[in-house]
Each structure stands twice: as C-alpha cells, then as structure tokens.
Chains A and B, each alone.
Chain A
Amino acid sequence: SQQGEEDPQALSIQEGENATMNCSYKTSINNLQWYRQNSGRGLVHLILIRSNEREKHSGRLRVTLDTSKKSSSLLITASRAADTASYFCATTGNTGKLIFGQGTTLQVKP
C-alpha cells in the first residue's frame, strides 16, 4: 500500500534554479522523511521532520509539513547538476514501518 503521492512525477530545471517537490499522504504519521536515489543505487536519507514540526532546514534543503492538509514539500535551492536524482517522501506511523511514495524524478541541466 502506497502512503504518499508525489507531485510532480518528473521535473526538469536549469542549474541554479530552485526545485520544489510535493508529497501528500493519507493516514496519521509520526514523522515524514525525504530520500534521494541516484540511478540504480540505494536510497540516501536527506531529512526527517516530526509530526509536531512545521519546517526544517538542512543546507540547501527546506522541508515543510502541513498535517492538517496531510502534505509536505521539499525545496532544493540553487540546484546543481549533482542534484539530478529521484526523490521520495516516506511516512512512519505507529507501526514504525516506512511507507514510500512513488517519487519525483529531478533533472538539473548544466
């Protein structure tokens, strides 16, 4: 069962631009996480935001969480070609299982 829906499915931008990806989920959560996956590789944990937090920053990443709308967004500022990857949101509920969305494929053109 897929918890999250990401939007857009694919995004193509120029280097230096900002990239925004959105995620919606269905059930109550303990936290929401964002991961990056380079082609054919494992996932790398980027950032975790707890259900009682509204915004979190990590370097060029900014994550927001709106539990009333059951949605989150990931903003990557001043994007670089190396940011080209797939980005996934994932939620954890009371079971502790991490349930993933379908992902957004980001291409950053040099």
Chain B
Amino acid sequence: DVKVTQSSRYLVKRTGEKVFLECVQDMDHENMFWYRQDPGLGLRLIYFSYDVKMKEKGDIPEGYSVSREKKERFSLILESASTNQTSMYLCASSLGGSLGGYTFGSGTRLTVV
C-alpha cells in the first residue's frame, strides 16, 4: 500500500534542462517536504510546505523551486539542471504540527549529464 509516490525511480537529464520531480501522497497530510541525499552529507532539506500554495525554504533551496497547487501533490523543479544536482531526491509528508512521523517516498535518483 504505497502512500507517498514519486513519479520516477531513475531519471537522467542534460545540463540546462528544466526538470520536474513529482510527489503525490494519499494520506491527506498537510505537510510535504523535499530532501536530497548525498554520500557524506546525509539528508538535507530543500523546500517544504505546510499548506496548499504555501512554501518555505529549507537549508539548500538554491537552484530549486517548488509548487503545491493541490494538497496531495508537491513538485520540485530544477530550473536549469546542473551536474552538482545529481543526487537522490526524497519526498516526504506528515500530519500538521510537529508531532508525527514522516512517510517517505521511494526516492528518485537523478543524474545530470
């Protein structure tokens, strides 16, 4: 029973391309998050959203933007992909407030060539 779905498992894009990573959750969670995970650097928060049309910058927002037009969908956009954005991208969702655990998607491994 998949609850957080990331649209692609593996993705290869060219430098300069605009890239969309999609995430959909079916648990009616208010909060949604995008992380990237790199060896030696752990998980770093890119952007998060507490509500529809609302977004907040995380620790490393540069080069990224997000869109949340519907509660269940949170998109991460790489405006002009660069090789240093090659990474594993993880989407997560949680209930409102700060008291619950996160549910993660399976991840998208993006390679920018």
Q: A43 near B90 (CB under 8 angstroms)?
A: yes
**How far does the Cβ of A85 sit from chain B's closest Cβ, in whole Å?**
13
| Residue A60 at the chain B interface, CB threshold 8 Å | no
The interface on chain A, measured as residues whose beta carbon lies within 8 A of the other chain's beta carbons, has a size of 27
Q: B34-58: contact bitstring with A at CB < 8 Å (1 yes, 0 no)?
A: 0100001011010010100000001
Instruction: Categorize the interface residue count of chain B.
Output: 20 to 34
Which B residues between 86 and 106 are near A, CB-CB below 8 angstroms?
A: 88, 90, 92, 94, 97-106
Please tell me if the beta carbons of B99 and A50 are within 8 angstroms of each other in the complex. yes
- Across the interface, do B45 and A99 meet the contact criterion of CB distance under 8 Å? yes
Q: A25 an interface residue at 8 Å Cβ cutoff?
A: no
Q: Does A59 contact B (CB under 8 A)?
A: no
Q: Are B99 and A30 closer than 8 Å at their CB atoms?
A: yes
CA distance A98 to B31 in the complex (A): 11
B-binding residues in A (CB < 8 A): 1-2, 30-31, 33, 35, 40-45, 48, 50, 88, 92-103
The chain B residues found within 8 Å of chain A, CB to CB, are 4, 31, 33, 35, 40, 42-43, 45, 48, 50, 58-59, 88, 90, 92, 94, 97-107, 109
A-B residue pairs, 3 tightest by C-beta: A45-B101, A96-B98, A42-B104
